[in-house]
A = this chain, B = another copy of it.
Amino acid sequence: MSGQLAIGIDIGGTKVAGGAVDASGTVLARSRRDTPDRSKSPEVVENTIVEVVDELVETVRSDGLGEVVAVGIGAAGFVAADRATVVFAPHLSWRHEPLREALARRVQVPITVDNDANAAAWAEWKFGAARGETHLMIVNLGTGIGGGTVIDGQVQRGRYGIAGEFGHMQVVPNGLRCECGNKGCWEQYASGNALVREARALIAAGSPVAEDLLSGVGGDPSKLTGPLITAAAQSGDPTAIELLAEIGEWLGVGIANLAAAFDPGTFVIGGGVSAAGPLLLDPAREMFRRQLTGRGYRPEAKIVAAELGNEAGLIGAADLARLGQ
């Protein structure tokens, strides 16, 4: 092997995942760290990124996998149109952070920065669940909601680079407070955080329906996570199933709103929560059909699970960097 590879780094609220990716979207080497706590300085996150890049460069070299020609960062934040600066990140400590410049001093190849969900949307369009789709929107349910739009093979970044923050559309007036500072944001109702919050609320209310979930974490609600709730649902726990359905219904409400505004052909649902599969997507599809304006008179968007799983972001970031897009 001697192809041109790009390294993609996906920086989410909980993990920094990196991969060396070839032109076909195949991940040839992987590296992974926990995301430093957001109380930490931006430099700590940058150190983590550089560690992951260095490890991957070394693996590519020692295993003779090819040549690393670019690094693409997909960050869970608002990335400016300069594709270099993270202006704001609800779930990270970055504020007007000149990320590309900071990394360029320590990395030897060209770097591009993008929003993580933009990168994932690109990957699912090019290699994944929405190949050939002219109008794709991705909704990634993780810590919050990441969003991206690809129209006619172009990532839509908006006038200032910050398009796709679907999770911060208000769905409930005066609703739950969001990390972004607003109230009632969609991601407060449809995300991994929302899933865990609701499960803990059930436990705190002393509800007997939450007993199995609580005993599953040895009686310590702070140990409850999204993946544990999903696993419980997949084992048949009716409360966990209901909690996921509620997230799915809010997902359906929000994508009906997006369909009203942008009328895509396909919604790709990704992110950690999407591992729940039909337990999430069936309630979402049902609510979407009930909420879509003009339903019955119009063709309806498909709602499909992401195909590239947790690696969509890093694959897309790498591919966009390799192409200089």
Contacts and interface: CB of A to CB of B under 8 A. Distances in A.
Contacts of A108: none
A164 B257 CA distance: 11
A87 B296 CA distance: 10
B78 A291 contact: no
Contact of A297 (B96, B134, B163, B256): B96
A263 B158 contact: yes
A180 B78 CA distance: 34
Contacts of A172: 173
A147 interface: yes
Contact of A180 (B135, B147, B258, B294): B294
Contacts of A169: 257, 260-261
Interface string A149-186: 10100001111111111101111110000101110010
A168 B294 contact: yes
A100 to B, nearest CB: 17
Contacts of A236: none
Contact of A78 (B156, B170, B298): B298
Interface string A255-268: 01110111111000
A247 interface: no
Interface of A: 78, 80, 87-88, 90, 95-96, 133-135, 147, 149, 151, 156-166, 168-173, 178, 180-182, 185, 253, 256-258, 260-265, 291, 293-295, 297-299, 301
Which 10 residue pairs across A and B have the least CB separation, nearest first? Answer: A158-B263, A168-B293, A159-B265, A88-B297, A135-B159, A163-B263, A169-B257, A88-B294, A162-B263, A165-B260
